[in-house]
Structure 1
Amino acid sequence: MHHDADIPDISAFGAHGGSVLAFQRAFPEAPLPWYDLSTGVNPFHYPLHDLPEEALCALPEAESLARLRQAAAKAYGCDASLIVAAPGTQAIIGLLPYLLRPPCVYMETPTYTGHEESWRGAGIACTARADLLTSSIEPGCASILCRPNNPDGRRSTLNELQEYAARIEQRRGTLIIDASFADFETTPFATLLENPAVVMLRSFGKAYGLAGLRLGFALGRHPVLSRLATALGPWPIHGLALHIGITALEDAAWRLKMADKLKIHAEKLREMMARVGFSFVGGTPLFSLFSHPRAGHFWRCCAAQGVATRRFRNRPEWLRLGTPGDAAMFDRLETALAAAAS
């Protein structure tokens, strides 16, 4: 039987999921193909057909960027004038500390660690708060929260978010809401954009299963959005990303069907994990967070079977899995869990 002490340093496997090559190097005897459940990327990617070659041969047109913003506005329920498109939400996360330069930033904990990395890297003091929505607010500072939260799927009511945003506006601060996993939620997040203190982030790649496309959006009336657009320049989006993004964002029927499909698969995953003793902590249709005293042991057994999952340095009892996409993924995971539980 393997013990948690036998597990390699998890820092070698990337801070945010992915890094399948690192798994392959650490577990060379694992069966192929590898199944990457370490991220929250949709396993059912949006279908790609008839991709235009000219999208790679010419500079993207301003009209195409405008159409992308219109498609995103319709999908997210806001006006196109409130949207800035970027090559991935992570690019926005990396730029905001330099464009805002607040005296300090507060962020909910636990949450996506990429936010703290970016702000600390810019030399801005960061304070983590488990009770962010009810804590005091210093004048001019920024606050960051994810809704739904990553990794535990924490949610807030619209009224709670509106009240917190109003407090921040009164203190001349900025509220950054990372809604990267909100595409299959029913909360009307766009109403928060009426507050000029709010900057909302939306990810395209997670919901549409096209993370490598690198496409994301910042939404809001906050003056930092104009600075963000200037910093990104006149051609912020790859030509193929423009074409695919427009097509997918205009396809409301696909999103509705996908929400139902992911819900079924996520429920199956949670039932499977419960059978081997895991407690469900929270999640979204795209990922589920579980707790188990021997989560590290299960992580290793999954990796030995070619299934990459996500561990957390400060919460060794946690294990996060993306929603599996087909029977082969579920079968391989079930084999790994059975081996770990035996």
Structure 2
Amino acid sequence: MAAERDHGGGVDAAARRFGGMRSDWLDLSTGINPCPYPVDQIPPEAWTALPDTAAQTTLTDAARRFWSVPQTAAVLAAPGASALIARIPRLGRPGRAHIPTPTYNEHAGAFVQEGWELSETDPNARVVVHPNNPDGRYWRPADLDGAALRIVDESFCDICPDRSLIAEAARPGTIVLKSFGKFWGLAGLRLGFAIGDPALIDRLARMLGPWPVSGPALHIGRLALEDTPWATDTRARLAGDAARLDRLMQDHGKIIGGTPLFRLYEVDDAARFQDRLARQRIWIRIFPYSRRWVRLGLPGSQADWTRLETAL
């Protein structure tokens, strides 16, 4: 059975359907921080030279400190978490993969693409998204048991570092994924990390080749990981903005989950709700497996908040 891959985004398609230019639209369909980490001037050599070993090591060392990576776990920087997700199924012979649903479906798509069967029974691989997208569910270490290959996707976990399962990265057969596209709001940077079993991380590194991460990404990633005051302030702001969005939506939908980066609501008719906002050039997320769930990301500027409130 092929796994359908649906995503947030798609503003260009929405503009073709409902009108307007891309710049006219407010995209609330993703879980990307709308107030990203500030990117200042990038050294010219980051653009012109092949990324050297020192720059890669400096980045991974910063990652170890920021995420408190166990000493026995290896760290690999990659061109986005999606590049890792596509390759992880190749780490084992095709078998049965358990990916609890509903969740971000790129993992299922990648495993099916490589010949795996999706199954809850006696899995050879298990994948959990922590916190889960779209409902914000958290998992326990025990939820990883019973499979030789264990993947913890923590793309959204930087909003709640105290809930991280990074300690599990020390277990054989385990990989924890991190993303720069969500909490830091730098999806276009294409930077992600695989942290875990050194044997598996080494195989992923060989799949990616010698220069998987660009010079600018190495530079910006290191600066961001070393800027703990920005991370602390951002967590507080996101928590406040998530509560603000819940208040704004309280007369329009029931909150049923989410994280400080996105909120999940139940409405009478998800497609109709999306259509109503789209006609006002605001794009939100709905799901093929639910007729009543809508997911909204956070507005960024005060003008964006006012625009959403007016549309509602």
TM-score tier by shorter-chain length is over 0.9
Q: Which 5+ residue runs of structure 1 have no aligned equivalent?
A: 1-10, 130-135, 338-342
Structure 1 position 117, deviation (Å): 0.8
Structure 1 position 30, deviation (Å): 7.9
Tell me what 2:113 maps to: 121
Structure 1 residues 155-170: aligned runs within 5 Å: 155-156=138-139, 161-165=140-144, 167-168=145-146
Q: How many angstroms apart in 1 are the aligned matches of 2:10 and 2:175?
A: 30
Q: How many angstroms apart in 1 are the aligned matches of 2:208 and 2:78?
A: 7
Q: 1:308 aligned to 2:291?
A: no
Tell me what 1:48 maps to: 39
Tell me what 2:300 maps to: 325
The C-alpha deviation readout for 1:311-339, integer Å capped at 9, x for no partner, is 101101010011111211112212222xx
Tell me what 1:6 maps to: none
Structure 1 residues 148-227: aligned runs within 5 Å: 148-156=131-139, 161-165=140-144, 167-168=145-146, 173-185=148-160, 186-221=162-197, 223-227=199-203
Structure 1 residues 326-341: aligned runs within 5 Å: 326-337=301-312
Structure 1 residues 1-342: aligned runs within 5 Å: 15-29=6-20, 33-79=24-70, 82-127=74-119, 137-138=122-123, 141-156=124-139, 161-165=140-144, 167-168=145-146, 173-185=148-160, 186-221=162-197, 223-276=199-252, 278-337=253-312
Aligned residue for 1:16, secondary structure, equals coil
Structure 1 position 274, deviation (Å): 1.0
Aligned residue for 1:317, secondary structure, equals strand
Higher alpha-carbon deviation: 22-31 or 57-66 = 22-31
Contact 2:130-2:138 within 8 A present in 1 as well: yes
Aligned residue for 2:177, secondary structure, equals strand
Q: How many angstroms apart in 1 are the aligned matches of 2:23 and 2:166?
A: 43
**What TM-score do you get using the length of structure 2 for normalisation?**
0.93
Percent identity, aligned pairs only, is: 39
Contact 1:97-1:119 within 8 A present in 2 as well: yes
Give the letter aligned to residue 163 of structure 1: A
Q: How many angstroms apart in 2 are the aligned matches of 1:227 and 1:59?
A: 22
Give the letter aligned to residue 62 of structure 1: T
Structure 1 position 56, deviation (Å): 1.2
Contact 2:141-2:165 within 8 A present in 1 as well: no
**What TM-score do you get using the length of structure 1 for normalisation?**
0.86
Q: How many angstroms apart in 2 are the aligned matches of 1:30 and 1:310?
A: 19
Structure 1 position 188, deviation (Å): 4.1
Q: How many angstroms apart in 1 are the aligned matches of 2:22 and 2:179?
A: 32
Q: Which 5+ residue runs of structure 2 have no aligned equivalent?
A: none
Tell me what 1:8 maps to: none
Structure 1 position 102, deviation (Å): 4.0
Structure 1 position 46, deviation (Å): 0.5
Aligned residue for 2:305, secondary structure, equals helix
Q: How many angstroms apart in 1 are the aligned matches of 2:306 and 2:232?
A: 27
Structure 1 position 33, deviation (Å): 2.7
Q: How many angstroms apart in 1 are the aligned matches of 2:306 and 2:22?
A: 13
Structure 1 position 236, deviation (Å): 0.7
Structure 1 position 36, deviation (Å): 0.9
Shift >4 Å, 4+ stretches: 29-32
Aligned residue for 2:62, secondary structure, equals helix
Q: Pick closer, same or farther for the CA change 1:153–1:19 going to 2, 3 Å.
A: same
The C-alpha deviation readout for 1:96-154, integer Å capped at 9, x for no partner, is 11232341111101010111111111111112x5xxxxxx534xx00011110001101
Q: Pick closer, same or farther for the CA change 1:336–1:32 going to 2, 3 Å.
A: farther
Q: How many angstroms apart in 2 are the aligned matches of 1:279 and 1:21?
A: 29
Q: How many angstroms apart in 1 are the aligned matches of 2:143 and 2:284?
A: 34
CA RMSD of aligned residues (A): 1.8
Structure 1 position 194, deviation (Å): 2.4
Aligned residue for 1:311, secondary structure, equals strand
Aligned residue for 2:287, secondary structure, equals coil
Q: How many angstroms apart in 2 are the aligned matches of 1:34 and 1:226?
A: 42
